[in-house]
Amino acid sequence: MAAGPMKMRAVLGQGYTDIRVLMNHPMETGQRKDADGKLVPMHFIQNLAVKVNGKTVVDAQISQAVSRNPVFSFRLKGGAKGDKVEVSWLDNHGESNSTEAAVA
Amino acid sequence: MSRAALLLALVALPALGEPTPQDVQKVMQHDFHARGQAGMDRVVQDGVQRVCTESHDRPPAELAKALQADQMKTIVYPQGSLLGDWQRGEAIAQSGRGLTWNDKPGDAAGGSCYNCHELSPQELSHGTIGPSLRGFGRSRGASAEVQRYVYGKIYNAKAYNLCSQMPRLGASGTLTPEQIKDLVALLLDPASPVNR
Amino acid sequence: MNRLRRALLAALALGLVRPLAALAAWNKDAFGAKTPADALKSLGIAGATPSKEVVIDAPEIAENGAVVPIEVSSNVPGTSALIVLIEKNPFPLAARFDFRDGALPYAKLNVKMGETSDIRVLAEAAGKYYSATKEVKVTIGGCGG
Amino acid sequence: MRLATLAALAACATLAQAQDTAREIQRYRQMIAEGSPAELFELEGETLWKKPQGPKNVSLERCDLGEGAGVLKGAYVHLPRYFKDADRVMDLEARLLHCMTTLQGRSRAEATRRVFGSADRPSEFESLSAYIAAQSRGVKIQPGMSHPKEKASYELGRALYFQRVGAWDFSCASCHGEEGKRIRMQELPVLYKPESARPVIATWPAYRVSTSQFITLQWRMNDCYRQMRTPEPTFASETTVALIHFLTATARGETYRGPGNKR
């Protein structure tokens, strides 16, 4: 698939904003063998950040223990329609991606 | 009635417009292709498959008895004890390999037993299509006669119940006599977890 | 001047002072630890008080260890971080979430579990740690064929 | 006496455990459904739908899935159906293959070189199925049932469902034939009964968490026949379409809510 597409939904709930973000990433543990028996090298997202209107509110460190094609949900205190929410990731190969959405 | 006549007698008249097993077989012979060890012979029904399909697994008693007798003749018993090693038996019961188009013919096959049966109480992930076999040997003992029954049932389940869903693991060439003896041990050996 | 610079760099290295924009440095030692105890030591955590205020919502049985959905949160006032450990995994530390003004101490994610194991979650509040554990049984689903 | 009570306790513990097991598996399924990467495949499918390909360098946007050229809304749930231009009943994947060969001018061999993908690289049919199926969310399932060839396809599908073949004498009904049966931990819906078929067909195609792949009904037919120890069914052949037709017709009337999420 394209270099790790991401999809995010930010919806105003009761008293908090519900953020759900999907990201395409193999999250390889380094222990999996490919079709012809070769070990696939470690390749996983290490850092994940959620920013609201430019300010980091969630700063996460994750590992190869997170499932492939990760799906995360977070909750922001309050929040208002139109707030700009951005989620970005950085993996152990130095690759990164980010996506943003306005709170619906 | 001779066996052939029995087979030819249609077990159940198909409803109008409903394809017969022969019609279905023709479509499959057109729509399938051999792959790996799975050849096109496998879409051609034998007598047991034909009768069970036509009767929706409820064959007329007389026909069933006759065909079961035929199936009984296919069972070949090895010499001596039929009790193998239950630990190898557990591994065979766990393995789902064997006879698929991506199984290599030389590789050891398994019995897929846990897919349908409960056996050792330690295995939470077991099926329920077949009866639970927990404590099977505890209640029946491990006499030569019981060993022979279990060996035969694994070798060709259709000899005992014509339209059983249990594969003919010996007759189909899936398991070797040695592997079947190991499964007999898994079921009958007092030391096997099935009987503890 | 360089004494101050050196102290700041040292502090940065220890992750005590996070540059506003940059992400927390990925804690190689903690994530590389092979036992829960070593992971906590690398995170500078001496001990944690078990508390019902730390909540783990996870299935008791997961049909497949590749994707185990867990929801972790903390009702301890002032919670600033949640740490997720999967005790029996080759590398027990699975994730660490630091929450700042505006985010609730809550996260839902899918984790991999090598085998049936306890999931342990720690909540950090005002430098003290509170913990909860939940066992998830991992079975092999499907036809095993 | 104590031994008997212990045994009794153990017995009812197992029974209780069995019910807990089923309930917990249900909870596991419900939790993984809430966070599904299926949407990522829908995105990929949209890109492919619009991407010019083949000797004619044309996208699939003019492909008629039965509701008119390029119309996606409700197309998936009205398949399989009869198509006059091909004079046969087609499911979604058969129809996509038809558009690839006619509109895009691709050879059947090239278009079907890789019909089932991998976690690293889904196949075109998988991504396209995710995107197109999603366009039918909220629409009632209603495959073609009026044309004589549609009726024949349905009847063939039903007969195939009960046809015992292969080295292990299985039919679909061997596993999908009786209520409450399981293979390992996997419950087996009795798919010739509407009430069992509806929730299943309403959530296929689906993202499979255990392999991180997006799987379609053509794959499902292929993999079931593999486990039945038969030779391989040709992709989008009459057999596979007839079976999918029988299952979809059995589920008709249900509101589609896929793409879904499977173990």
Position A66 scores a pLDDT of: 97
Q: How far is D193 from chain A (nearest CA, A)?
A: 34
What pLDDT, on the 0 to 100 scale, is given for residue B7? Answer: 61
Calculate how close chain D gets to A53, using CA atoms only, in Å: 25
User: Residue C21: pLDDT above 60?
Assistant: no
For residue D86, give the CATH number of its domain: 1.10.760.10
- Sketch out chain A's domains with CATH numbers: 6-102 (2.60.40.10)
What is the band of A71 on the pLDDT scale with cuts at 50, 70, 90?
A: very high
Shared-domain flag, residues D21 and D112: no
Torsions phi, psi for D181 (to 5 deg): -90, 155
Question: What mean pLDDT do residues A80-89 have?
Answer: 93
- How close D212 gets to chain A, by Cα (Å)? 7
Confidence of residue B11 (pLDDT cuts 50, 70, 90): low
Residue A2 is predicted with a pLDDT of: 47
* D85 and D172 part of one domain: yes
Name the nearest CA neighbour of A47 among C36, C90, C18, C133. Answer: C18
Q: Please check whether residues D72 and D118 belong to one and the same domain.
A: yes
Q: What tens digit of pLDDT does each residue of A4-59 get?
A: 689 898 998 888 999 999 999 999 999 888 878 899 999 999 999 999 999 999 99
Assess D32–A contact: CB distance below 8 Å, yes or no: no
Question: What is residue D66's DSSP assignment?
Answer: S
Residue D17: what pLDDT? Answer: 62
Supply φ then ψ for residue B113, to 5 degrees.
-60, -45
Are residues D12 and D93 part of one domain?
no
For chain D, give the percent of residues with pLDDT over 90.
Answer: 79
The reported pLDDT for the residue numbered D27 is: 84
Contacts of A99 in chain D (CB under 8 A): none
Gyration radius of chain A's alpha carbons: 15
Under the banding of pLDDT at 50, 70 and 90, the label for residue D112 is very high
| DSSP for chain B, written as a single string | --HHHHHHS-SSPPPTTPPPHHHHHHHHHHHEE-BTTB-GGGGS--HHHHHHHHTTT---HHHHHHHHHHHHHT--PPSS-----HHHHHHHHH---SSSTTS-TTSPP---HHHH---STT-----SSSPP-TTHHHHH---HHHHHHHHHHHH-GGGTSTT-SS--TTTTTSS-HHHHHHHHHHHH-TTSGGG-
Of the ranges B102-111, D4-13, D99-108, D116-125, which is most confident? D99-108
Q: Average per-residue pLDDT in chain B?
A: 93
Domains of chain B: 3-60 (no CATH), 86-195 (1.10.760.10)
> What is the band of C9 on the pLDDT scale with cuts at 50, 70, 90?
low
Q: A60–C95: do the CB atoms touch at under 8 Å?
A: yes
Q: Give, as one character, the DSSP assignment of residue D208.
A: E
Nearest CB partner across the interface for A67, out of C90, C108, C112: C112
| Same domain, residue pair D42 and D27 | no
Residue D25 near chain B (CB below 8 Å): no
Segment D191-196 mean pLDDT: 98
Q: Do residues D136 and D245 both lie within one domain?
A: yes
Q: B5: pLDDT confidence band, cut at 50, 70 and 90?
A: low
- Complex ipTM over 0.90: no
DSSP codes of every residue in A17-83? EEEEEEE----B-S--B-TTSPBPPPB-EEEEEEEETTEEEEEEEE-TTBPSS-EEEEEEES--TT-
Cα–Cα distance measured from residue A63 to residue A45, given in angstroms and rounded to the nearest whole number:
7
- What ranges do the domains of chain C cover? 29-138
Q: Output the pLDDT for position A15.
A: 85
Pair of tokens at residue C142: 């499907």
Whole-model pTM: value is: 0.84
D75 and D198 inside one domain: yes
Looking at the complex, does the CB of residue D33 fall below 8 Å from at least one CB of chain A? Answer: no
Q: Tell me the pLDDT band of D36, cut-offs 50, 70 and 90.
A: confident
Tell if the CB–CB gap between B27 and D185 is shorter than 8 Å. Answer: no
Q: What is the domain count for chain D?
A: 2
Inspect the structure and tell me whether chains A and B have 3 or more CB pairs less than 8 Å apart.
Answer: no
**Based on the domain organization, do D24 and D54 belong to the same domain?**
no
- Give pLDDT, residue B182: 98
Report whether pLDDT(A81) > 50.
Answer: yes
Question: Which of D156, D167, D240 lies closest to B172 in CB terms?
Answer: D167
Candidate from A82-96, B164-178, D9-23, D109-123 with smallest mean pLDDT: D9-23
C137 vs B contacts (CB less than 8 Å): 124
Q: Which domain holds residue D195?
A: 35-262
Q: Residue A17: what pLDDT?
A: 92
Residue of B nearest to D25 (CA): B125
Shared domain for D148 and D219, answered yes or no, is yes
pLDDT tens string D200-226: 999 999 999 888 899 999 999 999 999
A24:D39 CB<8 A? no
Could you read off the pLDDT of B147-190 as tens digits, one per residue?
999 999 999 999 999 999 999 999 999 999 999 999 999 999 99
pLDDT digits (tens, 9 = 90+) for C72-116: 999 999 999 999 999 999 999 999 999 998 899 999 999 999 899
**Per residue in B66-113, pLDDT tens?**
999 999 999 999 998 999 999 999 999 999 999 999 999 889 999 999
Do D104 and D136 sit in the same domain of this protein?
yes
Amino acid code (one letter) for B40: M
Same domain, D20 and D74: no
pLDDT (tens digit, 9 = 90+) per residue, D62-80? 999 999 999 999 999 999 9
Give contacts of C 61-90 with A, CB under 8 A: 66-68, 71, 86, 89-90
Tens of pLDDT, residues C43-77: 999 999 999 999 999 999 888 888 999 999 999 99
Q: What was the pLDDT predicted at B157?
A: 98
- Its CATH class, for the domain covering C29-138, is mainly beta
At D26 the pLDDT is: 81
